[in-house]
Chains A and B, each alone.
Chain A
Amino acid sequence: MQKSNLSLDPRIVLGVGEDATDEQIRAAYLNKLKQFPPDRSPAEFEQVRDAYEFLRDRRQRFRHFLVSIDPLAPLDTVFGSGSSERKFVGPEPWLAVLKEK
């Protein structure tokens, strides 16, 4: 079984979930390519391409899914998604709250 030689979790690199389909992975890849074109961000592009190459293989993807889960990992990293950013979500969710008395 070929092993990943990625330093980062390919799902995190592409920003896709555990159950992402082939189409979602491809869409995420194309989206990242726009973000990191090879001429402007060669290092990031390489990482994105490696992650895509890894995840597009169903066998590797499922193997990674099986072994990457870590029940003993610190809970704050498992549930914190590794990010403490406050996400910009646009006005709709805010206005939805204002509609309700």
Chain B
Amino acid sequence: MVIRERTTARSQVGECPGSFSDTLPAAEARVRELIAGRHSKAALEAAKDLHKRYATAGSEGVLLEAYEARIRDLLRHGMSIEAKSLLNLVIQRFPSALARLEEVLFEVRMSEGNLDECVAPLKDPNLAPAVRERIETAIRQHVFDLPALFQASSLPPTHSLRQGAAALIAALKAVTSAPVGEADLLLPQVSHRSPLASWKTLVNAIATFYRRDDATCRKWLQAIAADSVPARLLPALQAMLGSATAPVLNSAAKKLVAATGAGGEALRSALTSLESAMAAKRRPPILEKARAAVSVCERFCPDLREKLHQYITIRCMVLGFAPDSVRDAIGGSPRKDARWFHLMAKAMESTSQSFEGLAHALIAWEAFRELGLEEKSFAVNTVEDGVLSLHMAELAARIPADVADDLRSLVYRGNSPPSKSGLTPRRLFSPNALYERACASDPHSDAFQSWLAWAKKQCDWRVAERVAESWHQACPQDVAPLLWLMESSEKRSAYQKSLKYLEQAEQLDRLNPEVREAKLRLLLAGVLRHFRQHKPHLASQGIERIEASAERDGGLVALVSALRRVCAALDKDPGAVDRHAAEVEACLGSCVAAYVLHRGIADAAVLAPEETLLDPLDTKSYDGMTLLKGLAKACALADSVGIPLAIPEEWEDRLSAALIAPHPALHSAELLVVGEAAIRSQASSLAFAVSVAGMASGGVDSRFLFLRARALPPWASERRYDCLSAALELARRERNTDLTGKLLDELRCCPSNMFAPDDFLDEVGPDSHSMEPGFLNEILACERAAKQFPVPGGNLPARDECDEVDIFPDETNFAHSEDVLANMPPELARELTKAIARGAQPEEILKGMLPGRSGTGEREDLFGFPAAELLREIKKAMAMGVTPDDILEEMEDVLAGDFRKGRFHRGVQKKEKPGAVRPQQGSLF
């Protein structure tokens, strides 16, 4: 700066009459020009030369002017000692100019903190007006330290300047600290002729600024003397008022603007404008407004510049703008720090509609982790690292394993893996690796629970066992991993091992209801296994342990009696059978409930009715309501001990009829138990009827909507999706986390339209599945009004969209089915279409296609395969918990003629979901 000044000055001096060939006025003008340009040193040299040559009063005046400028320059650069020396030199050399130099003398004294001496002459009431005016002008122009003026001991305490300074100090503090009243702004101590008058004006301007009375504030600002000290605040205040021609601010002014938040207003206004342009999605205005917003931000809130760059770039990326155009508009690329990748990851996570997008989000999260560690936002293997890895694991778990394999090569095409200390690409997409890292960094129950929940869904049970073992090692006081290990061992028929785990769990927390429940289930599973093995004496021992281990309530007594009844039947002891049967009836208070329980136990033990000496119930003797109540009672008991009861097929119509009665006399919990049993028994129309009764009785809509969604036939996929989404929204409002989890699982496997194009599996819906209140109410109203099990083109809900959703007018919506139908004989295709239209079950469909339609005789066959055997296979599959979708899929193969004996069973085994029941092991879990 100094070098530049010298160079420029030299050149200007060179241009000026260094040879002094110019006339005096021209030379004077040149010196003044240099002074105005703040080239005080050059100006002084030129003035000295000028005075040496002409030595006139005029040249002396110019020289004094140059000295003044030089002294002020020195003061400006904080060189007060040099300034004072120079001033003394000038006064010595030009004593007659003392009066003229008074002002600069005042400034020099001020810079030395010698205000006392400066204002001292003012105490003289007879001070010459000209001198008084000069001092007062100096005060107006140079005194910024009001406390120093207030403390000027050379003036009496009652002097107007000291009193005015005191009043202004108090007023400034008041107006900048809190809202003030008008009385605080009157300041009678400061007259309008006072050299401090502009301060009074400033106080009023600040007060009106805080009152947001911007027009009045501007008027006050206009009244501030331009040469006064308070005028130094004008640029900042004008900027804070959002002046269109905002001046350049010095650092203190910028800080003030940022501190008051007034700069934020200007920025907010620019951003609102940008947001509107983005909403319109028109490129030129967006880039223009983005440029303007960045400019405002740089001026008023420079600290926010980088953050704003990052946000604008992300938003423009989401809008599909080329990075170059955005970079040009906002004047550079955003800084690629941890915050950038955090924003990127979140943006991809929330906008992504494909698994590829999720994969990119995972990569961004990993980069965020790397940079976060580098920036020391958090450390490796800490709680924070664990939380981040857990989030990533949950994200990775949403990508199917086979899709992840493809994506791995796709997203890393041409890119090197981002992490040095992080995971390799292979492991980055592996939920298991991410969960492992999360649990290693922050071993706590929630993380392990999430990991185990994922592992349970894997085909290989050993994955879940390893997770449970790790959990047990990391958190030895948690019973949950032990219960899972117990359950898993029991499933694999490792009964002794499962007992060992149970023992460990009991040692930890014997009174824990989950442990007690698990114990009961395990003991019961052992009893059922002994039934299957026809070892009633061993079963009896198990029954005694059950009796001893649990509290004897009505339900348990009934269960024990029912189990003893089976023992008696296997021992061929009809008397004992009758006795125990009577006990069960007495405990449950219902023949129907007793029968359903006996039958459920026999089914769970895979015993034929004749083996358990169980006679069919004469249902004609009971009305529908009695059947319904008995069923509900038995199901509630069986559910509590983990026996999945099935509803007798022949009861379904009567139960449905009972449910549509005006007062079914079952409360919500009972209805839900029956509904779950209906779903388990593939009795969709009955489950639907339960949901109708539940919603009509004002039950918990979320649960009944969930039930309805699962009861709907496969072709009503979009309605099913809406029901699930509505149920999810309601469950969230009810803060029912258990139901929310189930619904999210269901939604992740539930395409909104099963007839979508083939690549629909690559699409991933938003994880939130949030729903607008209006739409939710529409769905609720529509579903409450729907009383009939849906059939295509039949009883449609009244919702506007339903016309598009549920009507399957023709070929388009049955496109997928047609592919299947095209491969089968026309008569079968016709039958199948009819059956699907009725919402029939797979076995009904098969029955319907049998030539004789006379039941399930052994001689009837379908393409040479005995139909009864096929039906038995289907029933077995249903008992194993195979989903309707899987059965339907197998049916398609059957109907396409691709069936070979035994293939169905093998197919089911192959597709069996982890945790699915395996009857050959007698699992109850």
Contacts and interface: CB of A to CB of B under 8 A. Distances in A.
B351 A72 contact: yes
A34 interface: no
A97 B236 contact: yes
A39 interface: no
A91 B176 contact: yes
Contacts of A40: none
Contacts of B259: 87, 89, 93
Given A72-B318, A98-B144, A100-B232, A79 B209 contact: no
Interface stretch (A24-32, A41-49, A62-70): A62-70
Nearest to B378: A62
A67 B390 CA distance: 12
Nearest to B232: A98
Contacts of B297: 79
Interface string B420-448: 00000000000000000000001010100
A81 to B, nearest CB: 7
Interface stretch (B1-9, B341-349, B781-789, B813-821): B341-349
Interface residues of B, number: 66
Contacts of B304: 79
Contact of B252 (A79, A86, A89, A96): A96
B210 A86 contact: yes
A15 B561 CA distance: 64
B314 A71 contact: yes
Interface stretch (B262-270, B770-778, B845-853): B262-270
Contacts of B264: 79-81
A81 B308 CA distance: 13
B232 A97 contact: yes
B76 interface: yes
Contacts of A86: 209-210, 212, 240, 260-262, 265
A88 B375 CA distance: 34
B232 A80 contact: no
Contacts of A67: 346, 391
Nearest to B737: A3
Main secondary structure on chain B at its contact with chain A? helix
Interface string B307-318: 110011011001
Nearest to A81: B264
Given A72-B318, A83-B261, A91-B172, A97 B256 contact: yes
Contacts of B383: 58-59, 62
**Which among A75, A76, A79, A84 has the highest number of chain B CB atoms within 10 Å?**
A75
Interface in B345-387: 346-347, 350-351, 377-378, 383-384, 386-387
Nearest to B307: A79
A94 B387 contact: no
A87 B343 CA distance: 29
Nearest to A70: B346
Contacts of B502: none
A69 B256 contact: no
B255 interface: yes
B442 A99 contact: no
A101 B640 CA distance: 83
A58 B386 CA distance: 11
B917 interface: no
Contacts of A96: 252, 255-256
Contacts of A66: 342, 387-388, 391
A5 B314 CA distance: 29
B390 A1 contact: yes
A93 B261 contact: no
B347 A71 contact: yes
Contacts of A19: 377
A85 interface: yes
A74 interface: yes
Contacts of B346: 67, 69-71
A99 B264 CA distance: 24
Interface in A5-53: 5, 19
Contacts of A93: 252, 255-256, 259-260
Nearest to A84: B265
A74 B273 CA distance: 11
Contacts of B344: 71
A98 B230 contact: yes
Contact of A80 (B250, B267, B391): B267
B870 interface: no
B229 A75 contact: no
B300 to A, nearest CB: 11
B206 A94 contact: yes
Contacts of B232: 97-98, 100-101
Contacts of A1: 387, 390, 446, 450
B289 to A, nearest CB: 10
B511 interface: no
Nearest to B273: A76
B275 interface: yes
Nearest to B347: A71
Contacts of A71: 311, 314-315, 318, 343-344, 346-347
Contacts of B318: 71-72
A86 B293 CA distance: 20
Nearest to A89: B259
Interface in B106-142: none
Given A70-B346, A71-B346, A72-B351, A63 B735 contact: no
B173 interface: yes
B177 interface: yes
B272 to A, nearest CB: 5
Given A62-B387, A84-B268, A75 B312 contact: yes
A72 B250 CA distance: 34
A59 B271 contact: no
Contacts of A81: 261, 264
A19 to B, nearest CB: 8
A75 B446 contact: no
Nearest to A93: B256
A88 B207 CA distance: 11
Nearest to A82: B268
Interface string B284-301: 000000000100010001
Output the residue of B206, B267, B346, B444 with the most chain A CB within 10 A.
B346
B212 A58 contact: no
Contact of B256 (A70, A72, A74, A94): A94
A15 to B, nearest CB: 14
B384 A88 contact: no
B233 interface: yes
Contacts of A98: 144, 229-230, 232-233
A64 B272 CA distance: 26
Contacts of B206: 94
A72 B347 contact: yes
A57 to B, nearest CB: 9
Contacts of B212: 86
Nearest to A3: B737
B167 interface: no
Contacts of B244: none
A71 B318 CA distance: 10
B274 interface: yes
Contact of A85 (B229, B230, B261, B347): B261
Nearest to B253: A97
Contacts of B144: 95, 98-99
A9 B671 CA distance: 39
A78 B735 contact: no
Given A59-B444, A100-B232, 8 more contacts: A63-B387, A71-B314, A72-B351, A75-B312, A80-B271, A86-B210, A91-B173, A94-B176
4 nearest A-B pairs in the assembled complex, by CB-CB distance: A76-B271, A80-B268, A75-B271, A71-B343
Interface of A: 1-2, 5, 19, 58-59, 62-63, 66-67, 69-72, 74-76, 78-81, 83-91, 93-101
20 contacts: A1-B446, A2-B446, A58-B383, A63-B387, A69-B346, A70-B346, A71-B314, A71-B347, A72-B351, A74-B275, A79-B311, A80-B268, A84-B268, A86-B261, A87-B260, A88-B178, A94-B206, A96-B255, A98-B229, A98-B230
